[in-house]
Structure 1
Amino acid sequence: MRAMSGRQIARFFQLNPDLAEVYAGDEFWERRAIAARYLSQQRLLQMLDDPDEVVRRVLAYRIPIDRLEPLISDPDREVRITVADRLPLELLEKMVLDEDYMVRHTVAKRLIPGRLFRMILDSDREVRKTVAMRLPLESIGLMINDTAAEVRLVVAERIDVEAVSPLLTDPDWRVRLIACQRAPYELLPQMLEDEDEDVRLVAKTRITNQQE
């Protein structure tokens, strides 16, 4: 086969899947990558050190999940994202410090909740937001002072009502609003003087309803 077009190569292997083995070591990366779609998993394991990232992306998607560990530190972010999405949960913690935020975000969505505390100080806001959504309730207070209001909003929605008090003075009115909606009744009078009209209205409405 001399085809250089991806479409031509794909067509060739669709018609001749049994020839994929012949091209597994081809000098042209695209022929190797497309051939890899048709190779046995055992043959794919012999290609883990392929120099082209597109080939390794196919491997990350196709090889057995219990053989993915060598690709945890692959230099290509797309490979690592796929690995993070498929890796057995007991190995996933090895990727919590990955340099790429999308890899860590994928990890945060899958990691066992009880192990997420390792990611509460992640440098990326979206990663921390996902952590806040999944962290066990007994640990959510660890994120009450997060630097991002979007993360503190999640904390305000999930934290136990008896622990919501610090969020009533949060610098972001949206966080205070959620906290005011959930706070114990005895904490509401102080919110009648809040600088935000919506927060004051929630406090007033809840107090009125309680007195009726």
Structure 2
Amino acid sequence: MSESPHTVYVVDDDAGMLESTQWLLESVGLQVKPYADGRQFLESVNPAQTGCAILDIRMPGLGGLNIQEELQKRGSQLPIIFVSGHADVPIVVRAFRSGAFDFIEKPFNEQLLLDSVQQALQENQQASRRQQGDQHTETLIAALTRRERDVFMPLAQGYTSREIAEQLDVGIKTIDLYRARVMKRLGVERVPDVTGIAIAAGLLDPLKLRER
């Protein structure tokens, strides 16, 4: 079975709890990968995988907080929902300070867990889409030649061909040529779309479009 964006990883050394949590999640159509051992989970999970993880806090060997720390070292963006029958304040504080998505005490209300999982999956998918969009934008801009980049920024700022020609000390026809090439490479037909790409890439402040 291949992993999907809706994969929920459940790590719990309590066999009964692991099985019942898996059943609950699968009953609402989610794909579940259960693990009774934290190290086994870390060995099999892809840091780039989307979804979310439900981790028991206290387990033999690697506990939930240790797993969270290791995932962060690997650059994983998986939202983590901790479950524990021993939710003392220092542990809860440590978990949230380290970026936990939620902390639920055992025995937990089933709907509470399902709501938390759905929210975590939604947030993770949105973050993944934003990251993919950023990478796509960076790829588009990186494909521009040096001269195209010279035209790209003032074009994004809303300068006319005449103004850009004066800035770069070249003819208007030359600017019109590069302007068309820039828009073709970026796959857009309107100047506002060029502006949007520059803003998305962090190259332009939308409040200071005409400032150089």
TM-score if structure 1 supplies the norm length? 0.24
| Larger RCO of the pair (alpha carbons < 8 Å, separation 6+) | 2
Q: Which has the higher helix share?
A: 1
Q: Which has the higher strand share?
A: 2
TM-score if structure 2 supplies the norm length? 0.24
Which structure is larger by alpha-carbon Rg, 1 or 2?
Answer: 1
